[in-house]
A and B are shown apart, each in its own frame.
Chain A
Amino acid sequence: QSALTQPASVSGSPGQSITISCTGSSGNIGSYNVVSWYQNHPGKAPKLIIYEATERPSGVSDRFSGSRSGSTASLTITGLQDEDEGDYYCCAYGGSDVNWVFGGGTKVTVL
């Protein structure tokens, strides 16, 4: 049981927008803006796409955006493309004892 809850799957047609939620608690997302999102393809290292809840690393498409409200963070992908298929994980800081926790992951399918 992950400390962060994500939907198991989200799908959309090319060009559509989808949003993936990541629900935590007052012990992690609710207290710290240290929330990141990773795109993961089988057999490959994860790729950072959002950090500090809303920031995008250089080189990451502006079709990816992040937000945070209360104990929930969200990742939105606009203009969905075939290459966006994969697994997406949120990750949050949970304080000095817990440190970092991941969500269970969300499989994104482009229909």
Chain B
Amino acid sequence: QLQLVQSGAEVKRPGASVRVSCEAFTYTFTGYYLHWVRQAPGQGLEWMGWINPKNGDTKYAQKFRGRLTVTRDTSLNKAYMDLRSLSFDDTAVYFCVRDSRWQQLVGLWEFWGQGTRVTVSS
């Protein structure tokens, strides 16, 4: 069964960095784009960026450029979301989500990770 399994909850200080991983099971990891979406407490969904696991190409939302890096390790079928210079506003649940068409960027997001809660607290 297709699954995206994310790493566990994190608590970070302001100014620190966080890494969230997303491991893919039961499909060809390099065949589908992966996106990162977050949801702050009581707030809406926010698209952060994508990676093409086949070649490592990435695209980030303007808001996160310079602070966000998404990478992948094809030998482990994992993608990583690194967010730097954390502030209280970065407290959120972070989701990885797979696009649904083979090697196409279509924004068709059926398969989501379970979410990773990141808390920024002093």
Contacts and interface: CB of A to CB of B under 8 A. Distances in A.
A34 B100 CA distance: 13
B107 A34 contact: yes
Contacts of A45: 95, 97, 112-115
Main secondary structure of the interface of B (DSSP, over half): strand
B50 A104 contact: no
Contacts of B109: 36, 38, 46, 48, 91
A103 B47 CA distance: 11
A10 interface: no
A34 B106 contact: yes
B1 interface: no
28 contacts: A34-B107, A38-B45, A40-B39, A40-B45, A45-B95, A45-B112, A45-B113, A46-B45, A46-B109, A46-B112, A48-B110, A51-B107, A51-B108, A52-B106, A52-B108, A57-B110, A89-B44, A91-B45, A98-B61, A99-B50, A99-B61, A100-B35, A100-B47, A100-B107, A101-B47, A102-B47, A104-B44, A105-B44
